C-alpha cells in the first residue's frame, strides 16, 4: 500500500527567501507523484507532477520538485517565496487503484 | 470552460440521516474520484469511477456508496451519518481512469458537510 509523509507540519519563511517542502513516499513500483496546493476555502490546485523521465520537474508559479528514487523523496522547492504562496501544500502518490495524500505542510510567509 | 462543479456547497444533517452529494466533471473527462477531507488533515480517497464502473475504493465503510451516470456526472451517498462524517468532500475528474491514477486530477471546491 502507498503512504506519504510530510515531516514538517508548519513552515514559516520570509518573503523573498527560498523554500523547500519535504515529501517521502512508500510504494512498491514506480510511483506517480504530485504536489497540490490548497488555499483557505479553496479546492486543490495541481502545482506539478512526476510520471517518468527527467527527475527535476517544473511546475506553475515558479515551483519545481526533484524525484530521488534512492531516498524515496519528492521535495518541492521555490527560489523566492511570495506572500501569495501562503497556503497548505500536499504531496500525493498515485498508483494502482489508490491515491494517497500526505498530511500537508502549512506555509506561512512573513512580510 | 467550466471546471469541476459540486453541489451543494454546504450541507447540515443530523446523525442517522442520509446525504447525497453531486459532482459534474470537466467536459470530456470520463473519470471521477471522491475524497473526504477532515479539518486539519489531507484528503482521503473514497472512490474512483471510470466509464460508470468502480475502479478503486479506499478504506471506508459500506455506508459510503457512489455511482456514475452516462453523462459522467457522479453522486456520493452516505447513509446513517455519524458525527465523524463531518468533513469537506472533494470531487476530482480526469480524462481517463483505465490506467489507475496516472492521470492528472482536477478538483472541485468541495461540499462542506456538517453532521449535528
Which residues of chain B approach chain A closer than 8 Å at the C-beta? 4, 33, 35, 41-45, 48, 55-58, 90, 92, 100-102, 104-110
Residue of B nearest to A40 (CA): B109
Contact A103 B42 (CB under 8 A): yes
Query: Which three-class secondary structure state does DSSP give residue B72?
Result: coil
Question: Are A102 and A5 a contacting pair, CB within 8 Å?
Answer: yes
| Closest listed residue to residue B78, CA positions, set B59, B64, B61 | B64
Angle at A99 between CA B115 and CA B95, to 5 degrees: 100
Report yes or no: A101 at the B interface, CB cutoff 8 Å.
Answer: yes
Is a pLDDT exceeding 90 seen at residue A72?
yes
Residue pLDDT, tens place only, B8-35: 999 999 999 999 999 999 999 999 999 9
Q: What is the 3-state secondary structure (H, E, C) of A38-106?
A: ECCCCCEEEEEEECCCCCEEECHHHCEEEEEHHHCEEEEEECCCCHHHCEEEEEEEEECCEEEECCCEE
Distance from CA of A71 to the nearest CA of B (A): 21
C-alpha–C-alpha distance, residues A52 and A54, integer Å: 7
In the prediction, which pLDDT does B97 show?
A: 60
Residue A86 pLDDT exceeds 70: yes
Alpha carbons A109 and A18: distance in angstroms, whole number: 11
Average pLDDT over residues B54-64: 93
Give pLDDT, residue A87.
96
A100 contacts on B by Cβ (under 8 Å): 45
A42 touches chain B (CB under 8 A): yes
Residue with the larger pLDDT of the pair A79 and A51? A79
Chain A residues within an 8 Å CB radius of B107 = 36, 43-45
**Which of B33, B104, B107 is nearest residue A49 as measured by Cβ atoms?**
B104
Q: Which residue has the higher pLDDT, B39 or B98?
A: B39
Encode pLDDT of A1-59 as tens digits: 789 999 999 999 999 999 999 999 998 777 889 999 999 877 899 999 998 888 999 99
What pLDDT score was predicted for residue A1? 77
Residue of higher predicted confidence among B85 and B105: B85
What is residue B99's predicted lDDT score, i.e. its pLDDT? 53
Whether the pLDDT of residue A95 is over 90: the answer is no
Amino acid at each position: 500500500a502507498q503512504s506519504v509523509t510530510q515531516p514538517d507540519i508548519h513552515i514559516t519563511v520570509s518573503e523573498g527567501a527560498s523554500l523547500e517542502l519535504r515529501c517521502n513516499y512508500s510504494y512498491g513500483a514506480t510511483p506517480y507523484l504530485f504536489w497540490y496546493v490548497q488555499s483557505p476555502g479553496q479546492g486543490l490546485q495541481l502545482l506539478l507532477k512526476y510520471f517518468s523521465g527527467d527527475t527535476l520537474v517544473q511546475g506553475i508559479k515558479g515551483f519545481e520538485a526533484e524525484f530521488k528514487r534512492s531516498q524515496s523523496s519528492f521535495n518541492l522547492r521555490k527560489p523566492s517565496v511570495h506572500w501569495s504562496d501562503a497556503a497548505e501544500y500536499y504531496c500525493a502518490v498515485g498508483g494502482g487503484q489508490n491515491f494517497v495524500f500526505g498530511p500537508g505542510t502549512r506555509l506561512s510567509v512573513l512580510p | 470552460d467550466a471546471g469541476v462543479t459540486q453541489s451543494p456547497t454546504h450541507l447540515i444533517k443530523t446523525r442517522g440521516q442520509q446525504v447525497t452529494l453531486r459532482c459534474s466533471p470537466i467536459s470530456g473527462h470520463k473519470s471521477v474520484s471522491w475524497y473526504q477531507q477532515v479539518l486539519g488533515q489531507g484528503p482521503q480517497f473514497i472512490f474512483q469511477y471510470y466509464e460508470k464502473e468502480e475502479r478503486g475504493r479506499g478504506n471506508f465503510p459500506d455506508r459510503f456508496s457512489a455511482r456514475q451516470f452516462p453523462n459522467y456526472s457522479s453522486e456520493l451517498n452516505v447513509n446513517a451519518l455519524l458525527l465523524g462524517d463531518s468533513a469537506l468532500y472533494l470531487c476530482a475528474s480526469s480524462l481517463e481512469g483505465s490506467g489507475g491514477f496516472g492521470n492528472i486530477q482536477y478538483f472541485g471546491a468541495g461540499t462542506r458537510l456538517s453532521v449535528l
